[in-house]
Every structure is written in C-alpha cells, then in structure tokens.
C-alpha cells in the first residue's frame, strides 16, 4: 500500500527573474548569454530599481563619465 499521490511539483523558477535590459541602448542578452551578461554588464540602481548597462555602453559610459569629471573638476 503505497499511496503517494503527491507528485513532486518541480519549481523551475530561476533565481533572478529580473529582466536584463540595457538602460542605455535597450539591448537584451540572448538566452545562452544571460549568465555571461550578468557578470559582464554593469549593475546600478536608479529610483530604487536595478538597472543594467551592457558591456559596450558601460565602456562608453566610463569614457563620458571621465569626460564629465574632467569638466566638472574645474
């Protein structure tokens, strides 16, 4: 008598379900490159929400930030 009616409901919920969208250019990483993007994209917060900047835009951002710093320095 083995009445095991409870089926193991697999919860295939991913740990981070937050959408990965570049705030600058709106790019989204491919499914296969999602994990790579999580590690290579720049993460920030704006208005209490998590924002992501793709590798390319963050690189350009750094340049513009440096340029801004240069002018704001004086």
CB 29 within 8 A of CB 37: yes
In this chain, which of 29, 41, 52, 57 binds Zn ion, going by CB under 5 A?
A: 57
Residue 20 Cβ vs Zn ion, minimum distance, rounded to whole Å? 11
Question: Residue 6 in 3-state DSSP?
Answer: coil
Give CA–CA dist 63/14, Å, rounded: 34
Question: Residue 54 in 3-state DSSP?
Answer: coil
In this chain, which of 20, 27, 37, 38 binds Zn ion, going by CB under 5 A?
A: 27
| Residue 23 binding Zn ion, by CB under 5 A | no
| Residue 24 binding Zn ion, by CB under 5 A | yes
Binding region for Zn ion (CB under 5 A): 22, 24-25, 27, 54, 57
């Amino acid at each position: 008598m083995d009445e095991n009616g409870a089926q193991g409901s697999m919860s295939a919920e991913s740990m981070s379900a937050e959408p990965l969208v570049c705030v600058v250019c709106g790019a989204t990483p491919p499914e296969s490159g999602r994990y790579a993007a999580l590690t290579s994209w720049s993460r920030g917060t704006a208005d209490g929400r998590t924002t992501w900047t793709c590798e390319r835009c963050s690189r350009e951002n750094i340049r513009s930030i440096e340029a801004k710093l240069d002018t704001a320095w004086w």
